[in-house]
Amino acid sequence: MFKHLMKIAWFGLLASYIAIWATLRREVSLTGSYEWIAWLGILGFVFWAYLAFRLSGFSGKFRNFSRQIIAGNYETGIRPTRFVRDEVCSLEALINKIADRLRFFDALRAEKVAISTRAREIIHERSCESIVFADVDAAVFRFNKEARAFFGVDQETLSFDAIEKRPENAAFSAFFRDTIERDKVPHGERLAISLPVRGAAREAFVEIVPIKDRLEKVRVALIFLREPDREPAA
């Protein structure tokens, strides 16, 4: 019964006002009907107050829950009602189950990202090829061990500006920007690259492999550096 309390309240509210309307339409003396009308009016008001109280309370809870979810805070939920068990209470329990699933999938996503990041770092650092990892969002180049040895430097990261603003890197900068912003497909070219560290400069065959997200925006790019005499055949 309590699981259908709101349905009963809706039905009671409707029945109360139908009964009042029917009573007032009777073509008889209303002397004996005033008491019934008063009781029906009170009963209808009780049903209305209950529905308004439950719906307005749930609306506030759900609004706050939605704001937290949109803000990315999945450690949230709706405090269940304890004094009554009705349809709203069942809906609150269902929403809390949804929040539990969101937390589970968010934790799973974070774990997968952490594992993927760690695997990428291991591959990046232990690869036998000279690779520069270009993080477009952070605007930094990360040189793996072989790439650092290729240039004879120890510094692992350099900003895009530190390399692109050097006049001698104009050709590389144009090639890099065309690949990640316009073409968005792998390209290779023989270029000279100069680093702002110990005057390190090398000529190499540079192959850039952009990696796009689902919106076709390049987030990262892998830059492979090879000796000029190891340039792949066309």
Could you state, in order of their start, the residue ranges of all structural domains in the chain? 2-107, 128-230
Give the pLDDT score at 162: 92
Along the 234 residues of the chain, how does pLDDT read in single tens digits? 445 555 666 666 666 666 666 665 564 455 555 666 666 667 777 777 777 777 777 788 888 888 888 888 888 888 887 777 777 788 888 888 999 999 999 888 888 888 777 767 777 777 888 999 999 989 999 999 999 999 999 999 999 999 999 999 999 999 999 999 998 999 999 999 999 887 788 999 999 999 888 888 898 899 999 988 766 655
Query: What is the distance between the terminal CA atoms of the chain, rounded to a whole angstrom?
Result: 78
Contact 209, 133 (CB under 8 A): no
Q: Count of CB atoms within 10 A of residue 202's CB?
A: 16
Q: Which of 170, 168, 171, 183 is nearest to 221 (CA)?
A: 183
pLDDT value at position 85?
A: 74
What is the identity of the amino acid at 33? S
- Global confidence as pTM: 0.61
Class of domain 128-230: alpha beta
pLDDT value at position 14?
66
